[in-house]
Structure 1
Amino acid sequence: MRIVFATDLSDANEAAIRSRTCLECLKRIGVTDVHLVTVVPDNVSTGLPGMDIASDRQTALRTQRETFESEGFDVETHVARGTPHRRINGFAERLHADMIVVGSRGQSPLENRLIGSTARNVARTAVRPLLIERIEKRDGTHAVAKEHLFQHVLFPTDFSENAARAFEFVPQLAGATQQADLLHVRGREERDTDVQQVRERLSELADDLETTMGIETGVNVRDGGVVDEILAEESRVGATVTVLGARGQSRLRRLLLGSVSESVIAQGHNNVLLIPPESATAR
């Protein structure tokens, strides 16, 4: 499996890369090739005459590259100039990456610096599965929020085609996943649906995961606002990653991503694995 790991060379990204547990999780799902990508935004000055930003960033990438290589990954580094989310997605498409990994820290506009806004913009336009890895600041230093990236999966589903595509991706996490919880949130328009029928549909999906992955599963049906209930379920079950199907495509993708996916990414504290729709896959 080949991944594009986007880095802004910050302390936050260094924390994510230094976590041997996180790197072990990537190995467990079959990642062998890592493409480290850093992007110099167009609005960043090239600096004083004689300074070479590309060369400086390649030098800065060396430590991160060595960390991955010390854990047995094959690594290539890339420095590009342009709009970060466009270049990251462009590399993922050109390299036929199986997944993009982007770190995310902070929630408010004041806290969202380069990597925060980049994570949201990549999510809106991604043509490859995207892992948004949460990074927190603790005692003045950065650390990953959930070291065992894929150990406990939360899979919210509305039984749509996009959710089904996301569900098909979950078995690729075998080897790193020990438990999965499946959730359906009944919005106001669904209050008359039979809860037992919904549980049976979830149980069928759970049985599939137990058979294909050999893991423990649970199901739950909640009533209320979809985003609030997903975030509450993340906390209740102790999930380490929430797997969501994205909506939308083409130039309207920014608007059609769906308030649920975007709000879970913006408001949540869990890692999020976002699976793009079939129509959004790379050419």
Structure 2
Amino acid sequence: MYDDVLIPTDGSDGTRQSITHGVTIATQFDATIHALSIVPEGPLGTLQSDAAAPAAHRAVERVAVDAERAGVDVETAVEQGVPHEEILAYADEHDIDMIVMGTQGRTGLDRVLVGSVTERIVRMADVPVVTVRFTDDIRIEDAEEADRIAREALVAESPDADAEAITSLEEPHRTSASWIVSLETDSETAHVHVDALTGEARVARRE
């Protein structure tokens, strides 16, 4: 019934619940998840900044981590343009059966952008649209705490790693209610996702 589920994400807190919901649906129907993030442009000109594209890639990576953890096939894409237009175009081009997205973000700007895009998708999409309201409170708000949790998770998963030798590659950053902490040991680099709601840590990728 549902073979392809699209989860648009902008990296705001308001998309976290929609990611969880979308992964659950895909698991139930053995569907493929499509994680899509848009670097927005609008009638007033481009909203793109130096940080916008990397943030979009981090946002879809967060969906991919959750999908892969659940054993669900996932495809990721980052596009540039007017958000609701790009989402609808992607849905049409990839034969999407369902769209799952948040109704609002936590901050004032997120609330306006996420809410207005979702409203347009609901009105204009040719496929079912499941909207998910953001309700949870962020618990891990401090970057230092996220870094500490990430280091403990890395040591727990890599017993040979020297805790004193772990260094940070960059400052932790938060997207979709998850801190992403990039760390390096003597033998590898690791990207650890720390759930800002629960404090759960996941080693997402190693090189």
TM-score normalized by the length of structure 1:
0.42
Unaligned 5+ runs, structure 2: 140-207
CA displacement, residues 85-140 of structure 1 (integer Å, 9 cap, x when unaligned): 1111110100001111111137xx9883211111110111112221112222x445
Any conservation in 2 of the 1:34–1:74 contact (CA below 8 Å)? Answer: yes
Question: Aligned partners of 1:120 and 1:14: how far apart in 2?
Answer: 18
Any conservation in 2 of the 1:54–1:80 contact (CA below 8 Å)? Answer: no
Any conservation in 1 of the 2:8–2:101 contact (CA below 8 Å)? Answer: yes
User: Cα 1:130–1:84, aligned 2, differ >3 Å: closer, same or farther?
Assistant: same
Letter in 2 for 1:77: T
Question: Aligned partners of 1:99 and 1:53: how far apart in 2?
Answer: 26
Pairing of 1:61-76 with structure 2 (within 5 A): 61-76=60-75
Letter in 2 for 1:10: S
Determine whether 1:14 maps to 2:16: yes
Q: Secondary structure at the match of 1:39?
A: strand
Q: Secondary structure at the match of 2:131?
A: strand
Larger Rg, first or second structure (1 or 2): 1
Q: Secondary structure at the match of 1:135?
A: coil
Letter in 2 for 1:14: R
Aligned counterpart, 1:36 = 35
Q: How far has the Cα of 1:52 moved from its partner?
A: 6.8
Q: Secondary structure at the match of 1:90?
A: helix
Any conservation in 2 of the 1:3–1:31 contact (CA below 8 Å)? Answer: no
Pairs aligned (count): 134
Any conservation in 2 of the 1:89–1:122 contact (CA below 8 Å)? Answer: yes
Percent same amino acid among aligned pairs? 28
CA displacement, residues 59-107 of structure 1 (integer Å, 9 cap, x when unaligned): 342222111111011111111111111111110100001111111137x
Question: Aligned partners of 1:78 and 1:135: how far apart in 2?
Answer: 23
Aligned counterpart, 2:84 = 85
Aligned counterpart, 2:4 = 2
Question: Aligned partners of 2:17 and 2:88: how far apart in 1?
Answer: 23
User: Cα 1:82–1:27, aligned 2, differ >3 Å: closer, same or farther?
Assistant: same
Question: Aligned partners of 1:91 and 1:111: how far apart in 2?
Answer: 22
Question: Aligned partners of 1:77 and 1:64: how far apart in 2?
Answer: 8
Aligned counterpart, 1:186 = none
Any conservation in 1 of the 2:40–2:48 contact (CA below 8 Å)? Answer: no
Aligned counterpart, 1:23 = 23
Letter in 2 for 1:9: G
Any conservation in 2 of the 1:93–1:128 contact (CA below 8 Å)? Answer: no
Pairing of 1:1-283 with structure 2 (within 5 A): 1-17=3-19, 19=20, 23-28=23-28, 30-42=29-41, 43-47=45-49, 51=50, 53-105=52-104, 112-136=111-135, 138-140=136-138
User: Cα 1:105–1:27, aligned 2, differ >3 Å: closer, same or farther?
Assistant: same
User: Cα 1:31–1:10, aligned 2, differ >3 Å: closer, same or farther?
Assistant: farther
Q: How far has the Cα of 1:31 moved from its partner?
A: 4.1
